[in-house]
Amino acid sequence: MSTAWTSRYALRTKAVKSSAIRELLKITQRPEVISFAGGLPAPDVFPTERFREACCRVLEQKAKLALQYGATEGYEPLREMIARHTSRYGIKAKPENVLITSGSQQALDLIGKLLINPGDRILIEAPTYLGALQAFTVYGAEYVSVPCDDHGIRTDLLDKPLRSGPKFMYILPNFQNPGGTTLSEGRRHELVLLADRFGIPIIEDDPYGQLRYEGEHLPPLVVLDRKNLRRDNGYSIGNVIYLSTFSKTLAPGLRLGWIIAPPEVIAKLVQLKQGADLHTSTFIQMLAYEVARDNFLDEHVKLIRRVYGERRDVMLAALQEFFPPEVTWTHPQGGLFLWVTLPEGMNSQKLFEAGLKENVAFVPGDSFYPNGQEGLGHLRLNFSNAEPQQIREGIRRLSIAVKRQMQELHLIDALLQSHN
């Protein structure tokens, strides 16, 4: 009878595969493994004591509200706080521009539900966030990939992809996952101009924007969008929907993100969220508000920048020290990840197996492409979760696996040449 269910699955379901990363995470949780695989924040920086105080305050003063059903749009003071925080970067957001979501992942799911008909093409960066691929694919999305370099998506290559009529562009401008690269200011201007010229909107996903370890904050696309700049009465129209989250600044276990969009789009997303989960936990929203308020979040982010910035530096130094010169990697100015490119012929899936034997883990690059093959020459390393000493040791272990695989490849090459 098991098969009676199988035979009833909807078409969209049959296309969905389990996230490789989440399955990997299970394997790599053995204590002897140093894992660069997940995108996990460092648990040491969670502001636990402030959370405890906030829980007490919410339950002593507002328990009947916190434990009851709430509005789908979200907890009003939290929406106001997010609108205020967003406004300081130049966008005139109001609470009615804000929808609270159950993590950024739900934002991606709702946007897929809102915009994607089966067969619609979505313009993505190559590589891109695999959770977005997962969220969009279930609604029947197909993809137009545009390559990235050290300055983000190649805007000089956008003309033809935009002419092919994608439904929207999905862009991670800051410290991209998995690339670790940041879209340059010049390209940001180009991108919003192209969006306007072709009438192709942008979904701007910005989970890491606050976590910058060097350089200056760059304006988000939603701010540069001329459609918005022209308006004085708040963010009522525009080509860009902006997403962010508390997962990297407070704690991912909350599952709390948000969407900034014109009110008319928010209204539609609210209807879809009603059907999806009624609303995000009232208690969690009030808790996050109590923790973040009175500028705590700004202060706390400074601590995170210090801790993660050091870990990034340790990883970059260890790569320099241990890795052979044929391997290259990106230099992220912030965020949680860097992206390694292997020499021609090497395969990151095989390297993953070799790495596990050395008790070190990462995510092979194929997860970040709709067509996985493209990514097999790359791998993603996370530097936020492990402690500095562990990072150095992990990179040392990984370098052993890399060198061994390179040697094997040279042996094969030599063998092939000797046969010629």
Residues 213-242 that bind a copy of itself (CB under 8 A): 227, 236-239
Residues 153-192 that bind a copy of itself (CB under 8 A): 167-168
Pairing of the two strands 378-382 and 337-341 = antiparallel
- CA-nearest of 126, 103, 128, 42 to 285 is 103
* 17 in contact with a copy of itself (CB under 8 A): yes
* 303 in contact with a copy of itself (CB under 8 A): no
* 67 in contact with a copy of itself (CB under 8 A): yes
* 64 in contact with a copy of itself (CB under 8 A): yes
Between residues 124 and 346, which has the closer beta carbon with respect to a copy of itself? 124
- The CA radius of gyration of the chain, in Å to the nearest whole number, is 22
Stretch that binds a copy of itself, among 81-89, 111-119, 301-309, 327-335 (CB under 8 A): 111-119
Neighbouring C-beta atoms of residue 253, cutoff 10 Å:
12
Between residues 65 and 157, which has the closer beta carbon with respect to a copy of itself? 65
Among 276, 301, 356, 400, binds a copy of itself (CB under 8 A): 276
Between residues 272 and 301, which has the closer beta carbon with respect to a copy of itself? 272
Residues 381-420 that bind a copy of itself (CB under 8 A): none
The C-alpha atoms of residue 230 and residue 223 are separated, in whole angstroms, by 11
* 198 in contact with a copy of itself (CB under 8 A): no
- Least distance CB 134 / a copy of itself (angstroms): 4
* 255 in contact with a copy of itself (CB under 8 A): yes
CA 143 to chain centre: 18
- Least distance CB 320 / a copy of itself (angstroms): 30
Stretch that binds a copy of itself, among 61-69, 351-359, 366-374, 406-414 (CB under 8 A): 61-69
- CA-nearest of 98, 413, 418, 28 to 245 is 98
Between residues 26 and 160, which has the closer beta carbon with respect to a copy of itself? 26
* Alpha-helix runs per DSSP H in 34-129: 48-61, 63-66, 76-87, 103-115
Q: DSSP labels for 229-271?
A: HT-SS-S-S-SEEEEEESTTTT-GGG--EEEE--HHHHHHHHH
Element (H, E) at 284: helix 282-292
Among 74, 252, 370, 394, binds a copy of itself (CB under 8 A): 252
The C-alpha atoms of residue 343 and residue 326 are separated, in whole angstroms, by 6
Neighbouring C-beta atoms of residue 49, cutoff 10 Å:
8
The torsion angles phi and psi of 49, rounded to 5 degrees, stand at -65, -40
The C-alpha atoms of residue 55 and residue 359 are separated, in whole angstroms, by 39
Element (H, E) at 162: helix 159-163
- Least distance CB 290 / a copy of itself (angstroms): 12
The C-alpha atoms of residue 175 and residue 172 are separated, in whole angstroms, by 8
Among 34, 93, 158, 265, binds a copy of itself (CB under 8 A): 265
Residues 36-55 that bind a copy of itself (CB under 8 A): 38-41, 43-44, 46, 48, 51-52, 55
* 348 in contact with a copy of itself (CB under 8 A): no
The C-alpha atoms of residue 123 and residue 153 are separated, in whole angstroms, by 11
Size of the site for a copy of itself (CB under 8 A): 91
Among 193, 229, 272, 400, binds a copy of itself (CB under 8 A): 272
- Least distance CB 206 / a copy of itself (angstroms): 17
* 117 in contact with a copy of itself (CB under 8 A): yes
- CA-nearest of 296, 203, 202, 204 to 246 is 296
Between residues 105 and 177, which has the closer beta carbon with respect to a copy of itself? 105
- CA-nearest of 340, 331, 332 to 360 is 340
Stretch that binds a copy of itself, among 5-13, 145-153, 334-342, 359-367 (CB under 8 A): 5-13
Classified as helix, coil or strand, 53 is helix
* 72 in contact with a copy of itself (CB under 8 A): yes
Between residues 10 and 415, which has the closer beta carbon with respect to a copy of itself? 10
* 12 in contact with a copy of itself (CB under 8 A): yes
